[in-house]
Amino acid sequence: MNLFDQFLGHYNYWVVIFLMMTGFYAVIASDNLIKKIVGLNIFQTAVFILYISMGKIIGGTAPIVVTQTAEQAANPVVYSNPLPHVLILTAIVVGIATTALGLALVIRIKEAYGTIEEDEILAKDADA
Amino acid sequence: MMETFAFYPHLPVLQVVVPMLAAPLCYLLIKPRLAWLFATLVSWLTFAMAVLLLLQVSDGTLLQYNIGNWEPPWGIAYNVDRLNAFVLLIVSGIAAVVFPYAWHSVQKEIPAKQQTLFFTAMLLCLAGLLGMTITGDAFNVFVLLEISSLSSYTLISLGKDRRALTAAFQYLIMGTIGATFILIGIGLLYMLTGTLNMADLAARLVDVQSSRTMQAALAFIVVGIGLKMAMFPLHLWLPNAYAYAPSVASAFLAATATKVAVYVLLRFLLTIFGVAFVFEAMQVQYLFLPLAVTAMVFASVVAIFQQDVKRMLAYSSVAQLGYILLGIALVNVTGLTATLLHLFNHALMKGALFMALGAICLRVGVATVDSMAGLGKQMPWTMAAFVAGGLSLIGVPLTVGFISKWYLILATLERGWWPLTVAILVASLLAVIYIWRVVEAAYFKERPADAKPVKEAPLGMLIPTWLLVLANVYFGVQTDLTVGIAQAAATSLLGGAP
């Protein structure tokens, strides 16, 4: 396998790694709490794509049973794996719940501190 | 006799389903007092179920429950062996004492209209923790982990101090990163094997031992669970979370949440990846050893300098997780026995200590070392409970703390690594110092003249606290049950004859 195949053949996974690192960087580096949540979302989305990619089979169709004639059976229908897609549906729901809770906390923090910048919050806590 | 009941074969799933269904019902009760009574009842019910499960598997049988009657590896199976029955007992046992204790503390610390929601979140958290422990499906672990995590973020954010909000937010960020890492790891394992059932995974991973995907999966899962169990240096969320959470939530989470994370780590390392891959091919123990020793010593030193006693105990928890990790890193049966014992024993002692602190928060308002001056005379029972819990934390003979440290020291000597023995003893001495600061304030200082007089805590809080204190002593003397189960579970985990 040459380098070209390595890159294009694993195109999805390069996207996953790029998104994952972008999100992770945003979570760590930004001071703004909303931006942190956005970063977290990008980070989680990367994992969604990882799972969706692993279920896909090139040339695969939707996983529905089809009746085949005898000569078609020599070339059986290939299905994509539905399980990773179902799994990640659960993870997407979890991600939404986490985002909702995180945003709710940000609202409460804004009410309590009057700011959502982490350095200002830390400064206010140090004063108190 | 028990087998005649129709529910009996369904115990494994009821263990999780009962608290999970009880949570929304609890919310519908609206009145806080009813919600509390209901939640307490449910916690006792789950405890009873955990005891019944442990009795069934204590002779080494393996219970398997196929949800919806779908055969594994296609369906989700719940597997109960001695190891997770033991952890189920810890979690539900702590719940069964913390829930009755909660009423007075919640009355004082949480606004009336949020009290029902608080009990609902506690039940959800309990359901998530029990589910993580009992499930035999790798993806199910992630889902239930998130159920327990999301409810614990809510519980922490209900603290009175506004810093509870930032602590909960910080935990949410770190916890979600941890959970997502676990998700990536499970995804990689699925890519390798095409299965999620733990037993099936273990069997299929044997063929792909040297693949880089498996190594990456191990790395993601260890770091992810490390975040959830507050493995040093990933513990940064823990001190704030425990310090600013409502007292009841601190007591419950400190005694159970990290324990379940340790269980999940053991399950992944020893059952799924297998001893040969984790400890011989990857040599994970040499990663764990320095982290464990640093946690034991460093976190204990930090604990000494804390003004807030809740924060002090939180750092002490990080140190105790160091002992637990050390037991795993020694890779021998005695070390793993010590780890399992310390899961149980640390839950008992931290539960008792945080519950005593909750009683002090109720009467005094804050739990700083200074605010506790002279409390020994005014709240004799509460302070006595704190001292007893503290002695157990230090590891004085006749308490449970001594038992687990004894086995840990034996394990280090078995390996011949005496510097670790010294480190354990030093860390225990550091524990003497931070517990002593509280004892000194409570018994040897006078109450400030302008301080308001303080009453003893109500019986509703004292009785559950003392139940745990007595458990600390009982299991420190009568060790057959705990050591027996821990030793048997450790032997079978490390692949010896059970």
Cβ distance of A54 and B163 shorter than 8 Å: no
B76 CB within 8 Å of a chain A CB: no
Residue A11 has pLDDT above 90, yes or no: no
**Nearest-by-CA chain A residue for B172:** A102
Asked if B221 contacts B185 with a C-beta cutoff of 8 angstroms, the reply is: yes
Cβ distance of B166 and A24 shorter than 8 Å: no
B474 CB within 8 Å of a chain A CB: no
Interface of A with B in 16-55 (CB under 8 A): 24, 27, 33, 36, 40, 43-44, 47, 50-51, 54
Report the distance separating Cα A74 and Cα B384, nearest Å. 80
Cβ distance of B177 and A24 shorter than 8 Å: yes
Dihedral, CA atoms, B223, B228, B232, B234, nearest 10 degrees?
70
B458 CB within 8 Å of a chain A CB: no
Q: How far is B144 from chain A, CA to nearest CA, in Å? A: 10
| pLDDT tens, residue order, chain B (498 aa) | 455 567 788 888 999 999 999 999 999 998 899 999 999 999 999 999 999 999 988 888 888 899 888 888 888 999 998 898 999 999 999 999 999 999 989 988 888 888 999 999 999 999 999 999 999 999 999 999 999 999 999 999 998 888 999 999 999 999 999 999 999 999 999 999 988 999 889 888 888 887 888 999 999 999 999 999 988 888 889 999 999 999 999 999 999 999 999 999 999 999 899 888 888 888 888 999 999 999 999 999 999 999 899 999 999 999 999 999 999 998 888 999 999 999 999 999 999 999 999 998 888 888 888 888 888 888 889 899 999 999 999 988 888 989 999 999 999 998 888 888 999 999 999 999 999 999 988 888 888 777 777 888 888 889 999 999 999 999 988 888 888 888 888 888 887 543
CA angle A26, A29, A32 (to 5 degrees): 80
Report the distance separating Cα B15 and Cα B22, nearest Å. 12
State the pLDDT at residue B3.
55
Chain A residues with CB-CB distance to B166 below 8 A: 109, 121, 125
Report the distance separating Cα B229 and Cα B291, nearest Å. 13
Cβ distance of A91 and B150 shorter than 8 Å: no
Integer angstrom CA distances of residue B30 from B27, B116, B250? 6, 6, 24
Which residues are within 8 A (CB) of B478 and not within 5 positions of it... i.e. 6 or more apart? none
State the pLDDT at residue B2.
54
Chain A residues with CB-CB distance to B197 below 8 A: none
Chain B residues with CB-CB distance to A44 below 8 A: 176, 180
State the pLDDT at residue B498.
36
Q: Which of B93, B85, B63, B27 is nearest to B472 (CA)?
A: B93
Q: Which of B89, B97, B101, B99 is nearest to B123 (CA)?
A: B99
Q: How far is A9 from chain B, CA to nearest CA, in Å? A: 16
- CA dihedral (B251, B256, B257, B262) positive or negative: positive
Integer angstrom CA distances of residue B111 from A25, B87, B169, B250, B460? 38, 33, 20, 17, 20
Asked if B236 contacts B171 with a C-beta cutoff of 8 angstroms, the reply is: no
3-class DSSP state of A79: strand
Indicate the residue of A40, A47, A113 with minimum beta-carbon distance to B162. Answer: A113
DSSP state of B66: E
Cβ distance of A97 and B146 shorter than 8 Å: yes
Integer angstrom CA distances of residue B138 from A91, B91, B163, B196, B310? 13, 20, 35, 5, 34
DSSP state of A76: P
ipTM of the complex: 0.92
pLDDT digit string (tens) for A20-53?
A: 999 999 999 999 999 999 999 999 999 999 999 8
Residue A1 has pLDDT above 60, yes or no: no
Amino acid making up residue B361: C
Interface of A with B in 50-89 (CB under 8 A): 50-51, 54, 84, 87
Q: Phi/psi at B373 (nearest 5 deg)?
A: -60, 130
Chain A residues with CB-CB distance to B177 below 8 A: 24, 27, 40, 43
